[in-house]
Amino acid sequence: MGRVALVTGGTRGIGKAISVALKEAGYTVAANYAGKDETGIPVYKFDVGDFDAVAAALTQIKADLGAVEVLVNNAGITRDVPLHKMSKEQWDAVINTNLSGLFNLTRNVIDDMRGAGFGRIVSISSINGQKGQFGQTNYAAAKAGDLGFTKALALETASKGITVNAIAPGYIATEMVMAVPKEVLDTKVIPQIPVGRLGQAEEIARCVVFLASDEAGFITGSTLSANGGQYMA
């Protein structure tokens, strides 16, 4: 049985691709949140924004599979609206899931990683956390916060054999993106991407598999931009 990996938001879109890729690479994978088990990967339902629910779930995962050695913080939501129309609920929902979720998950695995002298933490940020996006002050703030979290925690854990990195995807051909009208994609989105196409979820998954590997042990505190050249930071 390979190292134990937990992928939040791991049953759809990018998260599902990451779960499958890690399983194919030999990891023992647990995925969270909703959806049925289509891949032979155990699914655990819990809200990443609820610290107590996360703690209970991690206790169960540890009992079932072993301590989490690779954590992929992928769960995320959007509540897009310009700030002057944004409700407190819309702000809180995105911050709680997309930023506080990193604390809730990481805090509940970090002691085991430190004790073992090994860990891999990979958080899925976004191009919009790097450059901003109209109507996404909540989402952009959370995703930018993910990058600061990554850098600070990398400094704290480097001597313990734990690496902490982030990936900032651009436009990926997920269910959510493909729901955008084709005319909008063809005339407004894809022309902004120098490689001339949307990314594929499997391309992000391959980035995660590399950062989770022993071969990536000298990489920590980094943000890997995977956006087809749309934004170069």
Residue type at 228?
Answer: G
Torsion sign, CA atoms 56, 62, 68, 74: negative
Whole-number Å distance between alpha carbons of 22 and 8: 13
Q: In the numeric block, which tokens belong to residue 175?
A: 């269910």
Q: Are 116 and 69 in contact (CB under 8 A)?
A: yes
* Number of Cβ atoms within 10 Å of the Cβ of 215: 9
Alpha-carbon gap, residue 228 to 220, rounded angstroms: 22
For 158-192, give one letter per residue: b (16+ CB within 10 A) or e: eeeebbbbbbbbbbbebeeeeeeeeeebeeeebee
Q: Which of 27, 33, 44, 139 is catalytic?
A: 139
How crowded is the C-beta side of 26, counted as CA atoms within 13 Å?
7
For the question of residue 139 being annotated catalytic, the response is yes
Q: Which of the residues are catalytic?
A: 139
